[in-house]
Structure 1
């Protein structure tokens, strides 16, 4: 916009200079015409003098005209140069501003690119974590359903009178049977007569049986004096009552408050069944 204004001002200055030159030329032509007319009407002696003077006047006018043209031309050139210099400075300033703006935009673009890459990485990590959580949730759901199923099964067993201790379920009868019939009752329910492995289990059995005599899964019917549990394992340590076992005809074991004792297998007593909690 400034360049257009400067060009308009230059064109106006040029037009003014041209008008002044035209007026000077008109003055010169008018003076020359008057001089010619005067010389025509004068005598021959005065003609030479007047001709010399006229030539001097014309030369002076030409010099003034030339000087004026030179001044106008210099003024025009100086004005154009000043305008060009100002326009050049404006263009350089604009280029500098555009360069700075470009650099700022490049920096912003680089920062945005880095931020985008970070967001992409974070999105991938979150997606992987989400997939892992979905997988873990599925496993936990299956495990929960399995535990609920086991809980329901245990509740059914407990409803039938079974008691839980460590990893086994125990059932003490309310009726009395022989050792063989007691064992059959247990095996029909996916269990067997109780096997006592340690003092903690012995105390638990005594606690649920109280002072009653109850059959346990221990016998020496196969080999007299060799006591074996119903799972076929040998008895390595026992909790026999003092003086027990004491008779060859008593091949089955029971427990009561003083400890274990051997009795004839045909006697009828209460019994305790045992089975794994995972069956």
Structure 2
């Protein structure tokens, strides 16, 4: 009886040892699992932080590249416009030089043929005497027309080129009595008539000018005449 009780007690101790061993193993395994889980969680968290950092870097790099591209595009556009402006200026300079050369040649040719230059116009004083219509025909053949006086300065210029001689100018009322028109069709608004002029009515329909003033006279009389050829001032296109 005592033997059985002792055996039972030993078995109980053995069972307790087995249980303790199992518990220790389970505790150890549980700790290992928690440790591994913690390590995995830490690794995952590290990876997430790495992904986020990489994403932020990628966004920053993309933003910098986009900004650089925009700045480069603006600079290229600006340089293109500057190049176009330089080419335009160069073209204008070439055109200006061409016009100046043409004007110089024209001045030379005209002055060699008796023409006088004054404020973008050439003037030719005849040495012959003809009636008004014949005088105008001569001017047209010279690619000009009878003189049109537009200002006091131009009338004053007459003093230098005709002295006191009467010359035909391009003014007539042959189309309608009393309506004085220049040869370009424009109507006279103010003039430099001598006192009492014009006074010829239907008989005197053409105008001569001295260095000081005008007078109407018969168109079939003969006088010297002045041709005028206008030229445009040199301008950039």
TM-score bracket, shorter-length normalisation = 0.5 to 0.7
SS at match of 1:205: helix
User: Are 2:139 and 1:190 aligned?
Assistant: no
Provide the aligned C-alpha RMSD in A: 5.0
Question: 2:155–2:212: 8 Å Cα contact kept in structure 1?
Answer: no
1:229-244 aligned within 5 A: 229-231=182-184, 235=188, 237-244=190-197
User: Are the structure 2 counterparts of residues 243 and 186 from structure 1 closer, same or farther at C-alpha, using a change threshold of 3 Å?
Assistant: same
Q: Which has the larger radius of gyration?
A: 1
User: Are 2:29 and 1:77 aligned?
Assistant: yes
- Aligned-partner Cα distance in 2 for 1:184–1:236: 25
- Alignment match, 1:163: 117
- Aligned-partner Cα distance in 2 for 1:220–1:115: 76
SS at match of 1:274: strand
1:113-152 aligned within 5 A: 115=67, 119=70, 123=73, 130=80, 134=84, 147-152=96-101
- Aligned-partner Cα distance in 2 for 1:67–1:247: 154
User: Are the structure 2 counterparts of residues 205 and 129 from structure 1 closer, same or farther at C-alpha, using a change threshold of 3 Å?
Assistant: farther
- Alignment match, 2:155: 202
Task: State the Cα distance separating 1:224 from its structure 2 match.
Answer: 9.0
SS at match of 1:151: helix
Q: Structure 1: 5+ residue runs without aligned partners?
A: 1-47
Higher relative contact order (CA 8 A, sep 6+): 2
Higher helix fraction (1 or 2): 1
- Corresponding residue pairs, total: 223
Q: Structure 2: 5+ residue runs without aligned partners?
A: 233-237
